[in-house]
Amino acid sequence: MSDIYKDLTSDEWLFHEKHYILSETDDRGIILYANDLFCEIAGYTREELIGKPHNIVRHPDMPRVAFKGLWDDLRNKGFWTGYVKNRRKDNGYYWVYATALRKNHPDGTTTYLSVRLKPSRNNVDACEKLYAELRAQE
């Protein structure tokens, strides 16, 4: 059964609110783990995602400053939360409300975990406007 559906009036894909998208990366953002919903909504097989940089789903509408904030917060505070527009393999897109966390392992390595929930339409609309303004300044 598919957990995703497409908006018929645009290239946007959505997922049901009881589900979440999960991934884990190494300290440089290389994908180590992807759950089924991540593969499905991004339009890639797990084999295509594992070992690739997480910017494989970067959408050109996202301002650079958002990811600078993500990396600064993850490295300095160990925590980041924000709204992200991601690009699918077929050039469609999907919005997420993401929380990312730093995990320090006993062997001294660091990985990062991100859980994404379905964002509210109001917040997506607000971010669409804000990110367009930020992009215009870059």
Ligand X SMILES: Cc1cc2nc3c(=O)[nH]c(=O)nc-3n(C[C@H](O)[C@H](O)[C@H](O)COP(=O)(O)O)c2cc1C
Contact positions vs ligand X (CB under 6 A): 23, 25, 29, 54-55, 57-58, 62, 67, 70, 74, 84, 86, 100, 112, 114
User: CB-wise, 39 or 57, nearer to ligand X?
Assistant: 57
| Shortest Å, Cβ 54 to ligand X | 4
User: CB-wise, 100 or 127, nearer to ligand X?
Assistant: 100
| Shortest Å, Cβ 132 to ligand X | 16
User: CB-wise, 8 or 20, nearer to ligand X?
Assistant: 20
Own/partner contacts of 62-65, CB < 8 Å, gap of 24 or more, are 62/131, 62/135, 63/131, 63/134, 63/135, 63/138, 64/138, 65/134, 65/138
CA end-to-end span of the chain: 41
User: CB-wise, 3 or 58, nearer to ligand X?
Assistant: 58
| Shortest Å, Cβ 68 to ligand X | 8
| Shortest Å, Cβ 73 to ligand X | 10
